[in-house]
A and B are shown apart, each in its own frame.
Chain A
Amino acid sequence: MALIKNHELTPDTYTRIAGDAELPDQGGVLVDLQRWQDDWQSLGRRGSPVGVWLTSDQHPEIIADDLDQIDLVALEFPSFRDGRAYSYARLLRDRYGFSGELRAVGDVLPDQLLYMHRVGFDAFELAGQDPLSDYQTALEEFDVFYQPAADARATALRLRHARG
């Protein structure tokens, strides 16, 4: 499994913590929601980055008030057919103003990457032989976008009226 972040292959600096397993002495950790809710104070005191992993039935509203203490939110796609996390991502970016790393985890496939990027994900856990090339191909497939989303891409509407 490779991690692509901000368009590059990147080593994962977060250690995934299962349930209430022990934390390493230092370095970023990625915990589940329960662990965050139980231990948020001690997690904050460690002085290292904290990520929270949400499953697809955990609405990020639950952590909306904590987001200034969270560096990474990982949203899980249990199956690529489960599209809830697209809306969670929009809400995290547009509604709750989250500007940290938003990572797509689980059943993340090349054919959905562009949509994920558009709704606000900037990091992706990808399998496959050449994930970076899959990623680049997927993101370059389209240059025209009809609807505004959580990305900076100009919509067709804007371009149409900008040229006057």
Chain B
Amino acid sequence: MYRYDEFDHQLVAERVAQFRHQVKRRLDGQLTEDQFKPLRLMNGLYLQLHAYMLRVNVPYGVLSAHQLRKLAHIARRYDRDYGHFTTRQNIQYNWISLEDTADILAELAEVEMNAMQSSGNCVRNITADPLAGRARDEIEDPRPWCELIRQYSILNPEFSYLPRKFKIAVTGAPKDRAAVAVHDIGLRMHHDAHGKPGFEVIVGGGQGRTPVIGKTIRDWIEPEEILAYIEAILRVYNLYGRRDNLYKARIKILVNALGLDAFRELVETEYEAMRGQALAVPAAEQERIAAYFQPPAWESGSDLDAELDTLRAADQDFARWFDSNVSAHKAPGYAIVTLSLKATGQEPGDLSADRMDAVADLADRYSLGELRVTHRQNLVFTDVKQSQLQALHRELQALQLATPNIGLLTDMIACPGLDYCALANARSIPVAQDISRHFAAADKLLEIGELSINISGCMNACGHHHVANIGILGVNKKGKEFFQITLGGAADESAALGDRLGPGLPQNELPGAIETLVDKYLELRTSESESFLETYRRVGMTPFKTAVYGDDAARRVA
């Protein structure tokens, strides 16, 4: 992974000192709350319902065991013994006091972490495929480019007061695990005919009140020009994005208002004026950064297919876990293991300080000290020897981190909802907990197969409900909580927004309705390999609507 050199260290130290000074001026009354707010936001500090929340960047989801121990220490010393991993591969602490913040940032700096621009109207943490550099299907490792973009975006003098927040995601694999189509800029790496890498640039995707699937603005950009192209997009957005209405300020609204072609023309004009100049990334810098991401010294070996088959036959728990939580590694003899933070009834994404420490120890022993945070709020061990999978499985079981549900129905994303969030219409965590208890049987989950359920407590869509196979949105009707279901959304390379199933349901009817949908799918699928999403795309809404609301109701709402 990337390591800070003296420049990175100095910049972060200067940033901490600056923020300490800003907090002092705020406490002295030299800064008004209005003036202080964007400054604290750009240091990751939000004011929530009950306390300050601090959001710490995990750059493109890459974390070392050493850093995780520091995160555990911060949870213990400054918060209430836990942290929450987010859909942007970050970690947040929910009970922080303003006076402690500069000290926390200084502690983070010791392990080369920071909270810069994890909030505010600026370029946020760059996110990436959590399996980057390891997945067997990968074309190109996106992490060196993420690091370049990270540095480019940090304290960028021109783009720190954008109309609204700005999110960039990068993937280097055909299977999109970074949801690039629902970001302000999504970058997808490809190879040309000679095997040279380049970027496809997708722009204007997003969720929230106006969900949009991003559009490809350019099929191909040379990697060394990627910063210039990003700057061109940011400049057009900074100049022309709306600033009069918070809900119309994201770049997707600008792209839609101008139309993709007119928007592209503006960007290309800017880009033409800048290409090959100061922002072109010199080969020496590309090499310097790429050197940090060289593969570790994997032991040479071969895949243990036969041995693993024997183990799976002998141990049903292991078999289930292997089938859902273990994925293919580039290096023969190794595997990628996802730790589920979605045990039955748990709050999705939460991890206690003690378990963070335990996970850090396991990462050292089983995964060369490195792990990842996924945008579905789980953790990944990147380099597990296949011969150690069974031992690791036992240790994870003891920590309740081995729930065999990755990519399955109970691997849900849920926003904080009414329990924490001032904007919420409805609860979302308890809804997730209900569903997770209803579908606790592991065999049933595996039978259903790949299926995403995401839950948002209001139309701001922090729970990503638009891009879930089954989305759940909390609404408030006459003072009562109801939940609207959408079907057919996807966040991967086939990204799509869900369609509304019908009128909202009360919370107690939700698990039953989901079961009805799932049973309908099991009845309709042509084979076990046809996923829920594929079946939905083949048969459409009607059979599902009828199943939930009955014939008459389905006709009425159709």
Measuring CB to CB, which residues of chain A are less than 8 angstroms from any residue of chain B? 59, 80-84, 86-88, 90, 95, 109, 111-112, 114-116, 118-119, 137, 141-149, 156-157, 159-161
A-B pairs with beta carbons under 8 Å apart, 24 shown:
A82-B161, A82-B243, A83-B160, A83-B162, A83-B238, A84-B238, A84-B239, A86-B157, A86-B158, A87-B239, A111-B22, A112-B161, A115-B155, A115-B157, A115-B158, A144-B11, A146-B155, A147-B152, A147-B157, A147-B279, A148-B278, A156-B7, A156-B8, A160-B285
Chain A, Cβ-Cβ closest to B5: A160
Please give the distance in Å from A27's CB to the nearest CB on chain B.
Answer: 33
- How long is the Cα–Cα vector from A83 to B35 in the complex, in angstroms? 14
B441 within 8 A of A: no
B38 within 8 A of A: yes
- How long is the Cα–Cα vector from A111 to B161 in the complex, in angstroms? 12
Please give the distance in Å from B440's CB to the nearest CB on chain A.
Answer: 48
A59 touches B239 (CB 8 A): yes
Q: For residue A118, which residues in chain B have a CB less than 8 angstroms away from its CB?
A: 157-158
- How long is the Cα–Cα vector from A83 to B166 in the complex, in angstroms? 14
- Which of these, B121, B152, B273, contacts A146 with CB under 8 Å? B152
Please give the distance in Å from B226's CB to the nearest CB on chain A.
Answer: 13
Please give the distance in Å from B42's CB to the nearest CB on chain A.
Answer: 10
B285 touches A157 (CB 8 A): yes
Q: For residue B7, which residues in chain A have a CB less than 8 angstroms away from its CB?
A: 144, 156, 159-160
Please give the distance in Å from B328's CB to the nearest CB on chain A.
Answer: 36
- How long is the Cα–Cα vector from A114 to B456 in the complex, in angstroms? 39
A160 touches B288 (CB 8 A): yes
Evaluate whether A87 and B238 lie within 8 angstroms (CB atoms) in the complex, with A81-B121, A142-B14, A144-B10 already known. yes
B39 touches A111 (CB 8 A): yes
Chain B, Cβ-Cβ closest to A118: B157
- Identify which of B39, B243, B273 gathers the most chain A CB atoms within 10 Å of its CB: B243
B11 touches A156 (CB 8 A): yes
Please give the distance in Å from B10's CB to the nearest CB on chain A.
Answer: 5
- How long is the Cα–Cα vector from A95 to B121 in the complex, in angstroms? 25
B155 touches A87 (CB 8 A): no
A80 touches B152 (CB 8 A): no
Q: For residue A119, which residues in chain B have a CB less than 8 angstroms away from its CB?
A: 157-158
- How long is the Cα–Cα vector from A158 to B17 in the complex, in angstroms? 24
Q: For residue A157, which residues in chain B have a CB less than 8 angstroms away from its CB?
A: 282, 285
Q: For residue A143, which residues in chain B have a CB less than 8 angstroms away from its CB?
A: 10, 14
- How long is the Cα–Cα vector from A22 to B419 in the complex, in angstroms? 62
B248 within 8 A of A: no
Contact with A along B288-304 (1 / 0, CB 8 A): 10000000000000000
B159 within 8 A of A: yes
Q: For residue B163, which residues in chain A have a CB less than 8 angstroms away from its CB?
A: 83
B151 within 8 A of A: yes
Please give the distance in Å from A42's CB to the nearest CB on chain B.
Answer: 32
Chain B interface extent, by class: 35 or more
Chain B, Cβ-Cβ closest to A116: B157
A148 touches B35 (CB 8 A): no
Chain A, Cβ-Cβ closest to B241: A84
B35 touches A86 (CB 8 A): no
- How long is the Cα–Cα vector from A83 to B235 in the complex, in angstroms? 10
B476 within 8 A of A: no
Q: For residue B160, which residues in chain A have a CB less than 8 angstroms away from its CB?
A: 83, 86, 115
Q: For residue A141, which residues in chain B have a CB less than 8 angstroms away from its CB?
A: 14, 17-18
Q: For residue B10, which residues in chain A have a CB less than 8 angstroms away from its CB?
A: 143-144
Q: For residue B22, which residues in chain A have a CB less than 8 angstroms away from its CB?
A: 111
Evaluate whether A109 and B238 lie within 8 angstroms (CB atoms) in the complex, with A143-B10, A146-B152, A146-B154 already known. no
Task: Identify which of residues 145-176 in chain B touch chain A, using a CB-to-CB cut-off of 8 Å.
Answer: 151-152, 154-163
- How long is the Cα–Cα vector from A80 to B161 in the complex, in angstroms? 8
- How long is the Cα–Cα vector from A118 to B159 in the complex, in angstroms? 12
B18 touches A80 (CB 8 A): no
Please give the distance in Å from A95's CB to the nearest CB on chain B.
Answer: 6
Q: For residue B161, which residues in chain A have a CB less than 8 angstroms away from its CB?
A: 80-83, 86, 112
B238 touches A144 (CB 8 A): no
B284 within 8 A of A: yes
Q: For residue A149, which residues in chain B have a CB less than 8 angstroms away from its CB?
A: 157-158
A109 touches B35 (CB 8 A): yes
Please give the distance in Å from B424's CB to the nearest CB on chain A.
Answer: 26
Please give the distance in Å from A119's CB to the nearest CB on chain B.
Answer: 5
Please give the distance in Å from A137's CB to the nearest CB on chain B.
Answer: 8
Chain A, Cβ-Cβ closest to B243: A82
Q: For residue A95, which residues in chain B have a CB less than 8 angstroms away from its CB?
A: 273
- How long is the Cα–Cα vector from A148 to B17 in the complex, in angstroms? 23
- Identify which of B5, B159, B161 gathers the most chain A CB atoms within 10 Å of its CB: B161
Task: Identify which of residues 1-23 in chain B touch chain A, using a CB-to-CB cut-off of 8 Å.
Answer: 5, 7-8, 10-11, 14-15, 17-18, 21-22
- How long is the Cα–Cα vector from A160 to B121 in the complex, in angstroms? 30
A80 touches B238 (CB 8 A): no
- Which of these, A86, A112, A159, A160, contacts B238 with CB under 8 Å? A86
Q: For residue B11, which residues in chain A have a CB less than 8 angstroms away from its CB?
A: 142, 144, 146, 156
B151 touches A146 (CB 8 A): yes
Q: For residue B235, which residues in chain A have a CB less than 8 angstroms away from its CB?
A: 87, 90
B159 touches A86 (CB 8 A): yes
- How long is the Cα–Cα vector from A163 to B178 in the complex, in angstroms? 37
Chain A, Cβ-Cβ closest to B7: A156
Contact with A along B128-157 (1 / 0, CB 8 A): 000000000000000000000001101111
B157 touches A144 (CB 8 A): no
Q: For residue A84, which residues in chain B have a CB less than 8 angstroms away from its CB?
A: 238-239, 243
Task: Identify which of residues 257-280 in chain B touch chain A, using a CB-to-CB cut-off of 8 Å.
Answer: 273, 278-279
Chain A, Cβ-Cβ closest to B284: A161
Which 4 A/B pairs are nearest by Cβ-Cβ distance? A83-B161, A118-B157, A115-B157, A148-B278
- How long is the Cα–Cα vector from A142 to B273 in the complex, in angstroms? 29
- How long is the Cα–Cα vector from A44 to B278 in the complex, in angstroms? 36
A147 touches B39 (CB 8 A): no
- Identify which of B17, B278, B288 gathers the most chain A CB atoms within 10 Å of its CB: B278
- How long is the Cα–Cα vector from A66 to B190 in the complex, in angstroms? 45
Given contacts A90-B158, A118-B157, 15 further A-B contacts (CB under 8 A): A83-B161, A84-B243, A86-B160, A114-B157, A142-B15, A143-B10, A146-B152, A146-B154, A146-B156, A149-B157, A149-B158, A156-B151, A160-B5, A161-B282, A161-B285
Please give the distance in Å from B160's CB to the nearest CB on chain A.
Answer: 6
Evaluate whether A81 and B157 lie within 8 angstroms (CB atoms) in the complex, with A146-B151, A148-B279, A161-B285 already known. no
